[in-house]
Amino acid sequence: MPKVLCFGSVNVDDVFVVPHIVLTGETISSSEYNVHPGGKGANQSVALAKAGVETHHAGRIGKDGVWVSELMQSHGVKTELLTVDEKLPNGRAIIQVSAATNDNAIVLFPGTNHAITLEDADKAICAFEKGDWVVLQNEINLDAANKVLADAAKKGLVVVANPAPCPSDYVQKVDLSHVDLLVLNASEAASIAGQISTSDASKPASDSELDIGTHAAHHLLQSLPNLKLVVVTLGGDGAVACLRKATNSAELVTYHALALQGCKLVDTTGAGDTFVGFFIASLVKSLSGPVSRTLSDILTDVDVVKLALKMGTTAGGMACEKAGAMPSIPVWADVEKRSAL
Residue type present at position 299 = L
Q: Which residue ranges make up the annotated binding site?
A: 11-13, 39-43, 139, 185, 233-238, 267, 269, 272-273, 319, 322, 324, 328
- Residues annotated in a binding site for ATP: 185, 233-238, 272-273
Give binding residues for K(+) as ranges: 267, 269, 319, 322, 324, 328
**Cα 5 from Cα 278, distance rounded (Å):** 14
**Is 273 one of the annotated active-site residues of the chain?**
yes
Catalytic residue among 85, 120, 132, 273: 273
Nearest-angstrom CA–CA distance, 11 and 309:
27
Task: Please measure the distance between the N-terminal and C-terminal CA atoms of the chain and give it in whole angstroms.
Answer: 28
Q: Which amino acid is at 31?
A: S
Q: Is 219 in contact with 171 (CB distance < 8 Å)? A: no
Could you give the residue numbers annotated as active site? 273
